[in-house]
Structure 1
């Protein structure tokens, strides 16, 4: 309860737009949450593979933390009496670092210590009560695919669908191992690292991302030749991808979701409807003026002028005025979610008020002009 109240207080006090790390850390709400960013990267940036890579590497780090935590427990609980002295010295090494759930999932001293423990444990002798299991029980894709992730070819998801869990929350891992009380094997860590390599990194892989050659070769050599699977293997690539998203995608995401509430297809449709309606209003207005129609008849011109102006203003601001006042934002075409981020809600209301004034001034001006201008009768 205290955690939720602290999070709510943070949201209310954040009188600014969120950062990319806050979005990836699930510390934001719709329409600038991780779900919306995923949809934006998939549908508008066409580069969702970069976000998937970052999230999978973060999940790999979470798995490594879980393994090290269980390794520490096994040394404290499962070591026989005659090895307690050795266990105590080893456990002091684990005690020296706190496997916390830090929100900043980029490279940190904690991540380095986890990697150091994994490297020292890799290929070492089996300890009594250790977490070794048959590779057949490896999580493989299960640990990174235990959520529903929208794919580019899938149907548009609903807001209730869950996205990948970032690394700061320990994953709920299940295996069919007979070893009680332990949920992560070292084989799972290796399978996780290899899956990231074969899915995103290797040239020609299923969802290859573009990385500098030096970075690419370093990852391949570390996993395939040196047999490493610790989180530091992906550090440089993870930072590279994060900076690329922060520089190339995130500003556009904030502009689309914090300053507007329409997706590009809706904006385009509103431009077409607005221009068509406004042209119909002008044509009808000039026709009625030339035919010297009465002002009562000319009042019908209000309809095309109001429709045309509303949609053109919506196109200009990339904002539906009525939806903004009702507190909704479009995440895919004709699918709406409620605006929950406090600062974004206030920002959209301010822009909706500006758009409303422009709409009213233009619609009233055009209607008055074409209704009250003197007619001409040839």
Structure 2
């Protein structure tokens, strides 16, 4: 009942304030302050985008850790159910011996997992206990130590009976570690359920990948994190590479530093761009060139036709889309020049004041575009709840009807954009503003810009209409 009760509260809050960074990162917000918009905004800053990439990869790693613990808890539930049903199975004597062996292993597994559960090592609200579990360095109570020894002896006896050869040393070295024991339990459970489980090997590989991608050095790491204190970075590298650590505690300091950087240096700039303005100059698409060519690995670069390269474009052909602000100002100045030319012509030809009022048309159009360009707020866009995306998109939709690089919300909102709004700015860049507070805020800024347009239009029209005419 709690999530259902809090959901309306969150929707109400979104009508009263701008979103927080955390809400964007957990994908609670909608366009134009969604995670995809934040990512495309940071893509114009090569070093800043690396922090967001690191954060998302780290969150993926933490989810793997959670899935690992959940897998162990599921194994505990399954083993308890097998114990409850063991008396109803295998009535034949030929199968009873094998059933007894399986039941014995199941009992040992359940007892061991229950002991770990009682000591709080499966409690996700206790990060220290979970980290100890992932490290395999649990502070053993006498009861838990005895259970682990029993498991080791049982596993060693099973290995000896199955293989009929001496492998005591290898077995002891592998099974004395709690992580190896839990991996063994998960492996057996995976075979029974025919469903893959996350293992410590996968967690370690994930941690090593993060380390090699972000933390080693500018030469070795493709997305090296700059401005990270060396002691913090080297500490994490040593724990991962030398101590084979992969628990969440390894990344705590890096997580804090990266979040502070995104929250203090990046997020305010993002909000000032998308929340205060609804027209944006198109950002650089350098980040996406590699992804575009990477999706065509079956084609060599030489075999790509001009049509293929065109379909991977991120730059619009329209100057009104690529240089939205400058093009509007220049277009507006052009119309103001037309208004001045008509006004002076009518004055020096000594036309009546009633005829000179026609200058209101070019002055209005010119004022509209100049004001919109200077404030980066299109009045009509703001009134109809429309804004420009930061990046042009002209990719062809895949066969299944979905382009993986574009959120579904963006695709759906594009169908709601009237064609007339695509005249300036490119229709492929227009999306619906779905955040209620930003929609209301942009509407208010649109009213202010409209007032400025009316004032400037009125001033120019009155001046050129009321001055005395003089025929040259």
TM bucket (normalised to shorter chain) is 0.7 to 0.9
What are the Cα deviations for residues 101-124 of structure 1, in whole angstroms up to 9, with x where unaligned?
Answer: xxxxxxxx6444432221126774
**How far apart are the structure 1 equivalents of 2:5 and 2:109?**
45
1:171 aligned partner: none
Residue 73 of structure 2 contacts residue 122 of structure 2 at CA under 8 Å; is this kept in 1? no
**How far apart are the structure 1 equivalents of 2:386 and 2:254?**
36
What are the Cα deviations for residues 226-265 of structure 1, in whole angstroms up to 9, with x where unaligned?
Answer: 1111122222112111111111111111111122112134
Tell me, yes or no, if structure 1 residue 213 matches structure 2 residue 214: no
**How far apart are the structure 2 equivalents of 1:178 and 1:82?**
17
2:10 aligned partner: 10
What are the Cα deviations for residues 295-342 of structure 1, in whole angstroms up to 9, with x where unaligned?
Answer: 566445333322221112112322111011111111135312111111
**How far apart are the structure 2 equivalents of 1:226 and 1:315?**
57
Tell me, yes or no, if structure 1 residue 346 matches structure 2 residue 401: no
Count of aligned residue pairs for this structure pair? 326
1:234 aligned partner: 251
Tell me, yes or no, if structure 1 residue 274 matches structure 2 residue 332: yes
Residue 57 of structure 1 contacts residue 231 of structure 1 at CA under 8 Å; is this kept in 2? no
Specify whether residues 128 and 348 from structure 1 end up closer, same or farther in structure 2 by C-alpha distance, changes over 3 A only.
closer
Tell me, yes or no, if structure 1 residue 92 matches structure 2 residue 186: no
1:305 aligned partner: 363
**How far apart are the structure 2 equivalents of 1:3 and 1:273?**
51
2:270 aligned partner: 253
In structure 1, list runs of 5 or more residues that go unmatched.
Answer: 100-108, 134-175
Counterparts in 2 of 1:1-378, with a 5 A limit? 3=3, 6-14=6-14, 15-43=16-44, 47-78=48-79, 80-94=106-120, 97=123, 99=124, 110-120=126-136, 124-127=179-182, 130-132=185-187, 180-203=194-217, 204=219, 205-210=221-226, 211-264=228-281, 265-295=323-353, 298-332=356-390, 333=392, 334=426, 335-378=429-472
Report the more deviating stretch, 37-46 or 258-267. 37-46
Specify whether residues 8 and 269 from structure 1 end up closer, same or farther in structure 2 by C-alpha distance, changes over 3 A only.
farther
Helix, strand or coil: the match of 2:222?
A: coil
Specify whether residues 125 and 62 from structure 1 end up closer, same or farther in structure 2 by C-alpha distance, changes over 3 A only.
closer
Specify whether residues 95 and 209 from structure 1 end up closer, same or farther in structure 2 by C-alpha distance, changes over 3 A only.
closer
**How far apart are the structure 1 equivalents of 2:136 and 2:325?**
56
Helix, strand or coil: the match of 1:365?
A: helix
**How far apart are the structure 2 equivalents of 1:253 and 1:82?**
55
**How far apart are the structure 1 equivalents of 2:269 and 2:254?**
22
**How far apart are the structure 2 equivalents of 1:2 and 1:125?**
38
1:151 aligned partner: none
What are the Cα deviations for residues 87-113 of structure 1, in whole angstroms up to 9, with x where unaligned?
Answer: 32122234762x3xxxxxxxxx64444
Helix, strand or coil: the match of 2:186?
A: coil
Q: Which has the larger radius of gyration?
A: 2
Q: What's the Cα RMSD here? A: 2.8
Report the more deviating stretch, 32-41 or 292-301. 292-301
What are the Cα deviations for residues 99-154 of structure 1, in whole angstroms up to 9, with x where unaligned?
Answer: 3xxxxxxxxx6444432221126774334852359xxxxxxxxxxxxxxxxxxxxx
Helix, strand or coil: the match of 1:319?
A: coil
What are the Cα deviations for residues 144-201 of structure 1, in whole angstroms up to 9, with x where unaligned?
Answer: xxxxxxxxxxxxxxxxxxxxxxxxxxxxxxxx98862443222221121111112222
Q: TM-score, normalised by structure 1?
A: 0.77
**How far apart are the structure 1 equivalents of 2:344 and 2:336?**
12
Residue 313 of structure 1 contacts residue 359 of structure 1 at CA under 8 Å; is this kept in 2? yes
Residue 388 of structure 2 contacts residue 431 of structure 2 at CA under 8 Å; is this kept in 1? yes
Specify whether residues 303 and 312 from structure 1 end up closer, same or farther in structure 2 by C-alpha distance, changes over 3 A only.
same
Residue 30 of structure 1 contacts residue 340 of structure 1 at CA under 8 Å; is this kept in 2? yes
Greater fraction helix: 2
